[in-house]
Amino acid sequence: MHRLLEILICVIAGMLLMPFFVLACGAVLVLLGRPLFFSQVRAGRNGVPFRLIKLRSMHGTRDAQGALLPDAARQTRVTALIRRLRLDELPQLALILRGRMALVGPRPLLPQTIAAFGEAGRRRGRLRPGLTGWAQVSGNTLLADREKLQLDLWYVHHRTAALDLRILGETIGVALGGERRRPRRLAAAARWLQAQGPGLGLGPGLDGGQEVPA
């Protein structure tokens, strides 16, 4: 997508969604308290680290062993809706304007996760990480991590402006209508990846990182 178009979409989206974001901030403040935001270092383009910022949508409750509870157990109905509508991701519009992220691209992951992917991680990191991506409109939380990686790699090698606009449109549909798996897309990505040969192995590290209080 052309950079000027990306900036224009960011500015318009920010203005249109700001009232809803303010309401979401108020809900988080009442339900979860402070801090309002969650931040974490993620891998950017070519592995360059940057700090990702999101509106916090989970509390930090841990089990007896000190491990964070599953995501579903750390959300409320309201914060789960905030996540579904992607309102928690709106602070990343500022990162897009600064050129650290893109509107569309593979979602930013932890640096150690990208390193564990090996060559697959290097290829995935050719693009700026995105606010939304091919995996996010093809099943997202309904997908295994390996499936997400396959979709990300397919996108990196098939990216076009038209595909980016399609993903943006589908992102709105997913936010309003919910997620569903896209078997044809998964099969196409798996076939394409297999055709690349054994040099593009998928590393064992597939954890995207849990949200904890910043």
Domains in the chain: boundaries? 3-195
Residue 179: φ, ψ to 5°: -85, 150
The radius of gyration computed from the CA coordinates of the chain, to the nearest angstrom, equals 17
Rounded CA gap, 129 and 114, in Å?
12
Rounded CA gap, 72 and 204, in Å?
24
User: Which residue type does 57 have?
Assistant: S
The pLDDT profile of the chain, 214 residues, written as one tens digit per residue, is: 899 999 999 999 999 999 999 999 999 999 999 999 999 999 999 999 999 999 999 887 787 787 888 877 788 999 999 999 999 999 999 999 999 999 999 999 999 999 999 999 999 999 999 999 999 999 999 999 999 999 999 999 999 999 999 999 999 999 999 999 999 999 999 999 888 876 665 554 443 344 433 3
Q: What's the whole-model pTM score?
A: 0.86
Q: For residue 74, give both structure tokens.
A: 């750390």
DSSP-assigned letter for residue 49:
E
Q: Which residues pair with 39 in a beta bridge?
A: 53
Rounded CA gap, 83 and 165, in Å?
22
